[in-house]
Amino acid sequence: MTGSYAGQIPWIASHVGLSVGQLGVALLMPGIGALLAMPFSGRLAHRYALRPFVTATIVAWSASLVLPALPTSLASLCVVLLVFGATAGLADMAMNAEGVLVEKLFGRSVMSSFHGFWSVGVLVGAALSALASHAGTDVRLQFAVEALVLATVGVGAARFLLDDPSTRGSAPPPHFALPTRPVLLIGLVGLCAVFGEEAGIIWSALYIRDELGASSGTAALAVAAFAVTMAAVRLMGDSVVRRLGPVRTVQLSGACAFVGAAAVVLAPDLVVGLGGFALLGIGVAIVVPLVFAAAGRVGPHPARSIAGVAGVAYASGLVSPGVIGGIAAVESLTTSFVLVAVLMGVMALAAGVLRGGAQRPPRQ
């Protein structure tokens, strides 16, 4: 879902006829949709049980993939991206709540591996978009076929998921849940990480095309370079977390992400630019899983805490497109990535707040 959509953002911008600044406005909408939906997700997960909630949100999110390829105006694109973001936010919360439940049953860190498969999906989706661009496939057809396949696979996989036994007989959370102070602090680290993810996934293809002069098909490889390193690190990340602990892991990750963003800013050619996005992917890879795992251990309702952290962290989905697009409209995308580098440094410095939410998992 995410990789296919991100890989076709240059096509969507050209199809609608958007400038970089207008694209930044449009890309605000998924973040707004997610932020509007997430505060209600804890209540929904409690009311409908986790397994059917995961199923329903995956189907809704898959169906929404067809929408971004349809608009021909900025206004209609903003509307469909609002829906796309709302369904993505609900599905994200539901899947992470399931991941926390499974991690508790395992008794050790496994969340990074789960997010690794999300990154594998980004890689596959970006590769499909690159192939579709080279083959001249209609993006509307590509998205429609993918939506049908992903919804079918999601429904089949969700049959084997677990429900959360802690919600049985317990009082439901409030209809509208604001994050507590511990959740807010954890969420702020996630905000920096998600800002870096958004920059790598959403803006990398456009950066490679516009700033370094690559073709649209080659530009989609920037999304793939970011996703493949992020997936590889996430798939091996749980062993790193068990050895170093969450705080040290985030500190080192932030340093790597800072170097990657700086390389993007200073890139003299395509190879260095792709390498910078690869390092950025390595740096942000483990941080978001650790943030969600820490949130799942705060308070009596994991889904509510995850929703709170997601709401704060995914505020980057609201902030980053407008900020990056706005700076790019005034200066350049290169200047925008200076801010990305700064936030990666802040993420490393603020890693200590994870001590309050995610205790170091026992060695196995």
Q: 109: closest CA among 196, 202, 262, 234?
A: 234
Task: Give the tokens for residue 280.
Answer: 């950025």
Tens-of-pLDDT digits for all 364 residues of the chain? Answer: 988 998 898 899 999 998 877 887 888 888 788 878 877 766 676 677 788 889 999 999 999 999 999 999 999 999 999 999 999 988 988 888 888 888 888 887 788 888 888 878 887 898 899 899 888 889 999 999 999 999 999 999 998 888 766 555 555 555 555 566 667 778 888 889 988 988 887 788 888 888 887 777 777 778 777 877 888 888 888 888 888 888 889 899 999 999 999 998 888 788 888 889 889 989 998 898 888 877 766 655 656 667 777 767 766 666 777 788 888 888 888 888 999 999 999 999 888 877 754 444 434 3
Q: What is the dihedral of CA 223, 333, 286, 39, to 10 degrees?
A: -100
Task: Give the tokens for residue 115.
Answer: 């997010």
Per the CB < 8 A criterion, the answer to whether 211 and 110 are in contact is no
Cβ neighbours around 156 below 10 Å, total? 10
Q: What angle do CA 9, 14, 17 make, to 5 degrees?
A: 120
- The whole-angstrom separation of Cα 235 and Cα 201 is 18
pLDDT at site 338: 92
**Cα dihedral sign for 46, 52, 58, 64?**
negative
pLDDT at site 359: 43
- The whole-angstrom separation of Cα 31 and Cα 12 is 18
Write 21-24 long-range contacts (CB < 8 A, 24+): 21/325, 21/326, 21/328, 21/329, 22/74, 23/206, 23/321, 23/325, 24/321, 24/322, 24/324, 24/325, 24/326, 24/328, 24/329
pLDDT at site 360: 42
Domain ranges of the chain: 2-159+176-356
- The whole-angstrom separation of Cα 26 and Cα 77 is 7
pLDDT at site 361: 42
Residue 363: exposed, middle, or buried by beta-carbon count in 10 A (0-12, 13-18, 19+)? exposed
Task: Give the tokens for residue 329.
Answer: 């409209």
Task: Give the CATH architecture of domain 2-159+176-356.
Answer: Up-down Bundle (1.20)
Per the CB < 8 A criterion, the answer to whether 28 and 321 are in contact is yes
**Which phi and psi (to 5°) does residue 174 adopt?**
-60, 160
Burial 56-82 (b: 16+ CB within 10 A, else e): bbbbbbbbbbbbbbebeebeebbebbb
Cβ neighbours around 86 below 10 Å, total? 22
> In the block, which residue shows the tokens 């993810």?
197
Per the CB < 8 A criterion, the answer to whether 325 and 13 are in contact is no
Per the CB < 8 A criterion, the answer to whether 126 and 224 are in contact is yes
- The whole-angstrom separation of Cα 303 and Cα 295 is 9
> In the block, which residue shows the tokens 């998921």?
161
Task: Give the tokens for residue 138.
Answer: 């209609």
pLDDT, tens only, 323-346: 888 888 888 888 889 999 999 999
**Which phi and psi (to 5°) does residue 190 adopt?**
-60, -35
CB under 8 Å to 342, separation ≥6 — which residues?
A: none
Verdict on whether the full-model pTM lies above 0.85: no
Residue type at 25 in one-letter notation: V
Per the CB < 8 A criterion, the answer to whether 286 and 253 are in contact is yes
Task: Give the tokens for residue 304.
Answer: 């509510």
First to last CA, the chain: 34
